[in-house]
Every structure is written in structure tokens, then in C-alpha cells.
Amino acid sequence: MSISSYYTPTKVLFGKDAELKCGQMVREAGGRKVFIHFGGGSVVRSGLLERVKKSLEEAGLESFVCGGAQPNPRLSLVRKGIEAYRREGCDFILAVGGGSAIDSAKAISYGVPYEGDVWDFYTAKAVPSKVCPLGVILTLSATGSEMSNSSVITNDEVVPNDKFGCNSDLSRPLFAIMNPSLTASVSAYQTASGSTDIMMHTLERFFHSGESFEYTDLNAVTLLKTVWKHTLKALEDPQDYEARANIMWAGSVSHNGFTAVGNPTGGDWSCHRMEHELSALYDVAHGAGLSAIWGSWARYVASVDYSRFAWLGKEMFGISEKEPRVAAEKTIEGFENIFRSFNMPVGLHELGLDLNERDLEALAAKTSWNGQRTLGNFKVLEQADMLEIFRMANRN
Amino acid sequence: MSISSYYTPTKVLFGKDAELKCGQMVREAGGRKVFIHFGGGSVVRSGLLERVKKSLEEAGLESFVCGGAQPNPRLSLVRKGIEAYRREGCDFILAVGGGSAIDSAKAISYGVPYEGDVWDFYTAKAVPSKVCPLGVILTLSATGSEMSNSSVITNDEVVPNDKFGCNSDLSRPLFAIMNPSLTASVSAYQTASGSTDIMMHTLERFFHSGESFEYTDLNAVTLLKTVWKHTLKALEDPQDYEARANIMWAGSVSHNGFTAVGNPTGGDWSCHRMEHELSALYDVAHGAGLSAIWGSWARYVASVDYSRFAWLGKEMFGISEKEPRVAAEKTIEGFENIFRSFNMPVGLHELGLDLNERDLEALAAKTSWNGQRTLGNFKVLEQADMLEIFRMANRN
């Protein structure tokens, strides 16, 4: 049997001022006392936190505020959140922010009803069977966590840090409120890094060892082109609502499973796994880490199926080159040029890292769990493959 | 505020032999005694019913079989279904079939927990607040009912018949099992009529008075092109799995709300309303009724926004004509040619109807509820507009 599944129960409200509906949404979901989880001060400075609190108040709901989520969200904060949620007697989590706030909210949502250590879910020692109800107000287009089943947490209590993900349909938010205007204040670097992450969610699912069908492939192209075009527009004019709207919705669709329908493997995901180790060790922005690796991964694996790269290059860039190997290389260059146009790195040096051979070996060892795991399925990568890809990224 | 919402909680299993998972899916959803609702004998003849019963049995579930759903599904059968479901003590409905089986299953699901007359929901005298749990095994790509919030029922207890829809998120199935192979035995006419309905679900949402954004518009084009291309392939080779897969998934995506994200109006829907009246009176296939009307509707309303028609024509057919009015006409002709290539009618005569002016007036009067309702929003249609469109379709 070769069956793919698709499940996106998250109710989306999309448009200007949609955040003013949050009180109503929480009330309809049965919440009474809301744990508002967010990241940095921009949610406060922009007045968004006040609008959210007012909407909750008008719906007759209490709230407790817990800020402090940061990029590559930390386990230590998750633990504090679990404690505070229990202590305050909350019954609903509202994440206000981007992937960091949402991912740590998901972790808190796993941890509150669990008697053991929440990190168990990220080391696969336990599987979530119950969560606290969770809703999202999105302020950064990037991780797609607002509709996805995944969260990624960095364990900052060990040295070197570990960065692991936990996937469970239980963590798909009950609702996601998406007002593109809320992303207008995001910096150029974060906008570009977020868009790179979005494109990578599609690329990771596009290259796989399983079956596919044409609509899913063509939609991948539409998503990639949409994010490319509108990111350039948003970088030029951060207030461009239509650009922000296209990026925001493309971000959700690129990671809610839609681009894997018909594809039972669910994608390759090697680059994400490699980047998680990179950012666990060096705390780089996730999207930037991905663009710094992808081209090297692609060149290393392309011979598995040059023609799939060639097809993508034809649809994306109009590459008409007949020789699949050459067309594949041109396709890879095409994507690297997109990343460059976003001012994103296409190698480890551009990421600001200066790694020597020993660093690269340590990275490959950590990524492969000292040879205990392989990555991917488009081409299955062993530790030696990972090392070679990291070396290539270090030379690129 | 201008907010669009998107909500598709239906869990999709997509691929070969996916129907063998139905027992497991029902059990996970908490069902114990399953009311299997289907249409004609093909579900029996193909052996599908036996496979379904076996899967339920293996999952330790009881079942009761209720066939007889037919195109333009009838209220009288819905009433019998409600009675049987209650009498047999069922607690789950499994619809096996196309839109007719699913739509009457939805009506049964509304009716069982309701003390009043189920038709109340279709005449807007009542709003559903509770339903029986419902799952679907899809055997015909067309109405999109497997993920949609709508069902349409024909009241065969009045003369002339009424055909009304009821929309409620409660009616979105808990799961939809989609094995493209199950649609391989569908006749050429039903395949073509189904594909026309799918394309119309996208066209109805593409033309509207509200906002839009680029990804949603480009995805509409991808869906329309996908259905066009793969319908021709399926008509040539009914066993073409990839063609059936593309059409099947495009059918769900075209009607689950995905193509209206960013568009708060949700679309125009005039053609669907007009076709419902046409098929209530003359019992034509829904898709065929739609293609018989669409071109006339489009020509009647195009002046509202020639450039939107022109954009679609450029993306679909490469129409480069600069004059928007001319480009719009070419676009409309392009779609009529697609319908012709499917052997679908583009006028009422080709539908096998021979209507005179009095018939057309009666049709327009019924469609407008004797002048009590308007249709659409791209251009709001009064009774006189509807009459003119029916006249044009009668001449086309």
C-alpha cells in the first residue's frame, strides 16, 4: 500500500484586523483563562499585545502573559511556561508571534498534561497523547508552525545544545489568525530568512523517493515562484500588503502537508536535519542555515534523478538545456541566485562561520548521531555523505 | 474588516487500496455500528461494498447497508435513511460513492439528531447544531462534497421539485478515503460532467466582487489546467491512474475552500444557483447543466471586469490580445472549447432541452424566487438578468 495522508484541522482567519477576533475564537474553543505566549518586545511595542488582551477581555476571558520566546526556542523557557500555566490555572494557550513562540507554545501544550519530562517527546522516549488547546496569532511568515504538526526545541541545558523536533497531529493549532499587516515590521533579514525556510519546506517535499503527481508538483512551483517574487517586493517595500499576504499564506501551505499529497514518503528532510545540528551548535537563523547548505546537498544528490531537477528548472527558470546533468546544475544555480537576491548565504562562510575540518567532522558526527542514523530518502545519507556535504558547503 | 476563513478538518487518506483502511478510520472516530450509504449497483458489482464490509468487520464493527442514492439525490430517500439509521441503532455514517451518496448521507447526518423536519435545514428554517459522525469513500471525482461544507438535496415531494443546498462546517466529513483507482470505472459522460463541475467550483470562486491575491489566483489556473489535461487523458484511457489521481485531488481542492482564501466573498455562485433550478425542473447532470450555462453567464457579466477574464485567458490559453473586451471573449471561447473537448454541452439545446420563451420565463421566475432573491456578486443578477442569461444559453 502506498497511501499519503493529509490532515489540517486548523481553522484559518485570514485578513486585515483578523487578530481582533481572537477573543471570540478562544471562547468558541472553550477557553476561559488564556496563557498568552510571545517572544520579544515587538509584540508589546506594536500594541498587538494590548489589542489581544482587549479582545480576550471583551469576550469575558482572563489572561496571563508569558513572553521571552527567542529564535531557536529554548527548553528552559518551556519548563518555566509549563510551571506558570499550571500555577495560574490556565486552560488555553494563545501563541502570538512566529515559529519560536508557536513551537515553544506547542511544547508547553505537550508538557502541561504530562507527568514526565517534556523533553521525552523530543527524544522519542514518549509520544504525546494529550495536549492543552492551542491557538495562534501569526506575526512572522516562516516556519509554517501555525498549521503544521511539528515543533522544534533547543535543549539549552546540555553542552553542546541539542535541537530536536516532535511531530504530532495533536499539536496542529485549533485556529490560526493571519493578518499579513502584522508581518510588515519584520526586518529585511528575518523576512528573507523566513521566506527561505518557506521555500525549503517545499523543496524538501519535492525531492523524495516516492510517487508524485502533476498537480502537487505544479503547485510546488507556484508556491516557490510566489515566495520568490513577493519576497523581493516585500524587501523593497516592507509595507506591501499583497506581498506580505502571498508570503504568509504560502508559508502555511508549504508546511501543512499540502505539498506532499500523493507522496507517501512525506519528503526528504536531510537539509532540515543538518541545519538543526548547525543551529544547535552555532545558533544561526534557521532559514539562513538552510540556504547555506541546500546547494551543496543538491549537487551531492542530484545524480539520483537529474531529470527531476531539470523539470523543476524548466518550470521555475525556463531552463531549456537538454542534457539533464547540466540542466540540474543550472537549476541549483537558479535557486542559489534566488537566495543571493534575498541576501541569504549559499555557503557556511557567508553564514559568518569559519569552520575547520575538525569542526566539520564533529558536525557530521553529531548530525548522524555518531553513525547511528541516516538522513533522507531521495538519497539516503550516511555520516560520510553528511561530512562531504558540510565540506562542500564550507567551500561554496 | 475583510476576513476570509478556511477550515478543512477532514482527514484525507489518498492512494491505492486506501479503502481497506476504512474499518480502522471508523474505529478511531469512535463508531461501532456503521450505516453504509451508497448509490447504484456499481459499488456492489465492483466488489467495493464487500471490501468495505470486510474492513469494518475486521475492525470489530457492525454495519447496516442502505443503497439507492441517485444523481440529484432525493429527499424521500433521506427520510427513509434517517428512519433506518434510528431503527438500526447506528452511530456512524459511511458514504460510499460520489456526490449523490455523500450529499444524502450529509442530509441523513443532519436529520437523525433533529426532532423537526430535515428539509428545514435546506429552506433555512433551521440551522444544524448537531450531526451524526460521517466518513466518506469517494468513487467519483466531481462535487468535492468529500471535503466541502455543502450538500444539495432535491425535494421530490413537491411539484415542480425544489433543489436546495445547506452549508454547515458540521457536515465536513471526518475522513475522506480517496483511491483514484475506484474512479476508473466511471463512464466517459460522468467523468466529463464531474470534471466540468470541478472546473466550475474554481471558476465560481475566481470571479467575485472581493479582494484576491496572486497565489490563490495562480493556484486556480493550475487546478483548471490540471483538470483539463487529465480529463482528456482519462477519457482516452479510463484506467490512467495518474490522470484519475490528478482529477480526484483537484476535485477536493476546488471545493474545500482553498481557492477562496483571501477572498471574503467566497465567490459568485450564480451559475450553480441557476443550474440547480434547471436540474430541479429537468433532471440534467449537474456538470452538464453548468457548462450549458457558463458561457452565457460569462458573456453577460464580463463587462464588469474584462481584465480579470483577460488575465485568466492569458494564463490558461496564452491569449495575448491587448483589448480587454476581445481578450475576455476569447477566454470565454477557450473554456467553451474545453467543455466541447469533454463532449459537454455549451447551450441548453445541446443539453437535450427544447425550451420556449414561456419555459425560460418560468425558469427565471423560479430561480429568482419570483423576484425575491438576487444571485451573485461579481455582477448582482436580478430576475430579468437571469432570464436574459437563460435566453442566451438557449440560443448558444
Express each pLDDT in A62-84 by its tens digit. 999 999 888 889 999 999 999 99
Confidence of residue B70 (pLDDT cuts 50, 70, 90): confident
Q: Strands, DSSP E only, in chain A?
A: 2-16, 33-38, 62-66, 92-97, 134-138, 150-155, 162-167, 175-178
Helix, strand, coil percentages, rounded to 5, for chain A:
55, 15, 35
- Yes or no, beta carbons of A11 and B1 under 8 Å apart: no
At B14-37, the pLDDT tens digits run 999 999 999 999 999 999 999 999
Instruction: Give A12-31 pLDDT, tens digit per residue.
Output: 999 999 999 999 999 999 99
Give pLDDT, residue A183. Answer: 97
Average pLDDT over residues A156-170: 93
Strand order in the sheet with A33-38: A62-66, A33-38, A92-97, A134-138, A175-178, A2-16, B2-16, B175-178, B134-138, B92-97, B33-38, B62-66
Nearest to A11 among B7, B12, B13 (CB): B7
Q: Of B391, B309, B314, B313, which Cα lies nearest the Cα of B355? A: B391
CATH superfamily of B188-395: Dehydroquinate synthase-like - alpha domain (1.20.1090.10)
- Cβ distance A18 to B11 less than 8 Å, yes or no, reads no
Mind giving me the DSSP string for B107-170?
A: HHHHHTT-SS-GGGGTTTSS-------EEEEE-S-SS-TTT-SEEEEEETTSSS-EEEEEE-GG
Contact between B279 and B260 under an 8 Å Cβ cutoff? The reply is no
- Residue tagged 534523478 (cell numbers): A305
Query: Using the beta-carbon criterion (under 8 Å), do A14 and B262 form an inter-chain contact?
Result: yes
Q: Helix, strand, coil shares of chain B as percentages rounded to 5?
A: 55, 15, 35
Per domain, the residue ranges of chain A are 11-183, 188-395
Cell of A282: 552555532
Whether the domain at A11-183 and the domain at A188-395 fall into the same CATH topology: no
Q: To which residue does cell 467519483 refer?
A: B140
Q: What are A's interface residues with B at a Cβ cutoff of 8 A?
A: 1-9, 11-18, 20-21, 213-216, 218-219, 222-223, 225-226, 229-230, 242, 245-246, 249-250, 253, 261-262, 264
What does the pLDDT read at residue B138?
Answer: 98
Please state whether B362 falls in left (phi above 0), alpha (psi between -120 and 50) or beta. alpha
Bridge-partner residues for A35, per DSSP?
A64, A93
pTM for this predicted structure: 0.96
CB A215 within 8 A of CB B221: no
**Averaged pLDDT for residues B289-302:** 98
Question: Is residue B337 a contact partner of residue B386, using CB atoms and an 8 Å limit?
Answer: no
ipTM score of complex: 0.94
The predicted-structure confidence for A318-353, as pLDDT tens digits, reads as follows 999 999 999 999 999 999 999 999 999 999 999 999
Rounded CA gap, B213 and B246, in Å? 24
**Does the pLDDT of residue B1 top 60, yes or no?**
no
pLDDT reported for residue B117: 97
| Mean pLDDT on A240-250 | 97
Model confidence band, residue B128 (pLDDT cutoffs 50, 70, 90)? very high
The pLDDT, as a whole number, for residue A141 is 97
Query: Are the Cβ atoms of B214 and A246 closer than 8 angstroms?
Result: yes
pLDDT at A2: 81
Burial class of A187 by CB neighbour count within 10 A (0 to 12, 13 to 18, 19+) = exposed
Q: How confident is the model at residue B71 (pLDDT cuts 50, 70, 90)?
A: confident
Q: Kindly tell me if the per-residue pLDDT of A5 is higher than 60.
A: yes
Topology given in CATH for the domain delimited by B11-183: Rossmann fold (3.40.50)
Share of chain B above pLDDT 90, in %: 92
The string of pLDDT tens digits covering residues B347-366 is 999 999 999 999 999 999 99
Tell me the per-residue pLDDT of A147-162, one tens digit each, with 9 for 90 and over.
999 999 999 999 989 9
Cβ–Cβ below 8 Å for A219 and B219: yes
Give the pLDDT band (50/70/90) at residue A212: confident
Residue carrying the nine cell digits 423576484: B371
Q: Residue A387, Cα to own-chain centre: how many angstroms?
A: 24
Closest CA to A314 of A304, A327, A302: A327
Q: Is residue A1 scored above 70 in pLDDT?
A: no
Residue A207: predicted pLDDT: 96
- Sign of dihedral through CA atoms B238, B244, B248, B250? negative
Q: Which chain B residues contact residue A6 at CB under 8 A?
A: 11-12, 14
pLDDT one-digit tens code per residue, B33-65:
999 999 988 899 999 999 999 999 999 999 999
Chain A residue numbers with beta carbons less than 8 Å from the beta carbon of B215 are 222-223, 226, 246, 249-250, 253
Q: What is the mean pLDDT of chain B?
A: 96
Please indicate whether, in this complex, the C-beta atoms of A6 and B14 are within 8 angstroms of each other: yes
> In DSSP terms, which residues pair with B166 in a beta bridge?
B151
A219 pLDDT more than 60: yes
CA distance B11 to chain A (A): 5
At residue A395, the pLDDT reads 95
